[in-house]
């Protein structure tokens, strides 16, 4: 049985409380056995509406589960997405409080910053390249407000596990380089933990933005000028804790770093 609107709201309240207290709740798929993907996105929208009612501003979206391996592990055949709010953003080199999060992990991504709106359906790769003002290296801190292991409905309802976004300070045009071949080395405490190529995101990270624009069109939502889109991770998530220093080296395209206390 599908969830009711009141159940969507209750699940959103539970997730919001978990984030505030930095204490995971039971898996939503266990608490609400009939929960499906539509329910999960409805819960996510409730969470974001609650945050925005408290003053948070929408600054973009993230795309997750972009690799085939991650999709198979989640039992789905397409990515998922979440919302990026202004209070999630941190600057390159910032210090984050590890205790604010439950199971913090870091992923390496490219962030697309839009110079014009993108509205699906029918958005293509070339539409994304034309609409993107610049691309910059980024780190996404992912976190889980419900217990692991989680199903896809738990991840989607939990705003696709987004906890924080750290943007680099080097920008480049979307056609200055072949985005597929953008590579990065992720260091934790001066040791290489992960390496990857951006082609790991659907073959081209711009295709993550394509998917998002067309997926959001089903809700009548447009990607807005100035909004940031995290196109998807091309490394495995690396756990972090107090005392860790993170540095992602994108070679000639710059770097992005943060540390945890």
Tokens 């293509």 found at = 124
Q: What is the mean pLDDT of residues 80-96?
A: 97
Q: Tell me how many helices (H) and strands (E) the chain has.
A: 7, 13
Answer whether residue 26 shows pLDDT above 60. yes
Q: What is the mean pLDDT of residues 157-176?
A: 96
CA distances from 254 to 129, 218, 257 (A): 20, 36, 10
Q: What is the mean pLDDT of residues 97-111?
A: 97
How are beta strands 245-249 and 183-188 bridged, if at all? antiparallel
Answer whether residue 78 shows pLDDT above 80. no
Q: Is 114 exposed, middle or buried (0-12, 13-18, 19+ CB in 10 A)?
A: buried
At residue 249, what are phi and psi to the nearest 5 degrees?
A: -105, 115
Percent of the chain surpassing pLDDT 70: 95
CA dihedral (222, 235, 25, 14) in degrees, to 10, reads: -10
What is the Cα–Cα distance from 35 to 37, expressed in whole angstroms?
7
Domains assigned to the chain: 58-260 (3.90.850.10)
**Could you tell me which of 248, 245, 235, 232 has the C-alpha nearest to residue 96?**
245
pLDDT band at 74 (very low <50, low <70, confident <90, very high): low
Q: If you ran DSSP here, which 8-state letter would residue 173 be given?
A: -
Percent of the chain surpassing pLDDT 90: 89
What is the per-residue pLDDT for 149?
Answer: 86
Locate 108 and state its tokens. 């390496």
What is the per-residue pLDDT for 151?
Answer: 86
Contacts of 100 (CB under 8 A, 6+ apart): 22
Q: Give this prediction's pTM.
A: 0.95
What is the per-residue pLDDT for 69?
Answer: 56
Please say whether the beta carbons of 194 and 108 come within 8 A. Answer: yes
């Amino acid at each position: 049985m599908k969830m009711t609107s009141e159940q969507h709201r209750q699940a959103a309240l539970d997730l919001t409380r978990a984030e505030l207290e930095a204490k995971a709740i039971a898996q939503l798929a266990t608490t609400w056995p009939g929960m499906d993907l539509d329910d999960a996105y409805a819960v996510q929208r409730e969470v974001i509406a609650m945050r925005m009612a408290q003053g948070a501003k929408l600054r973009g979206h993230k795309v997750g589960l972009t690799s085939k391996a991650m999709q198979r592990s989640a039992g789905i055949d397409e990515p998922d997405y979440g919302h990026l709010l202004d209070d999630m953003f941190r600057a390159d080199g910032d210090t984050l409080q590890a205790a604010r999060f439950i199971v913090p992990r870091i992923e390496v991504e490219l962030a697309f910053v839009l110079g014009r709106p993108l509205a699906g359906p029918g958005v293509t790769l070339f539409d994304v390249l034309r609409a993107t003002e610049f691309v910059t290296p980024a780190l996404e801190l992912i976190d889980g407000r419900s217990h692991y292991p989680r199903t896809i409905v738990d991840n989607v309802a939990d705003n696709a596990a987004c906890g924080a976004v750290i943007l680099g300070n080097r920008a480049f045009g979307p056609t200055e380089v072949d985005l597929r071949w953008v590579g990065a080395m992720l260091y934790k405490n001066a040791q290489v933990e992960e390496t990857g190529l951006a082609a790991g995101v659907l073959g081209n990270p711009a295709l993550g933005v394509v998917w998002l624009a067309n997926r959001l069109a089903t809700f009548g939502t447009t990607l807005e000028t100035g909004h940031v889109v995290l196109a998807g991770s091309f490394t495995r998530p690396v756990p972090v804790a107090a005392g860790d220093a993170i540095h992602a080296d994108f070679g000639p395209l710059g770097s992005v770093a943060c540390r945890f206390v």
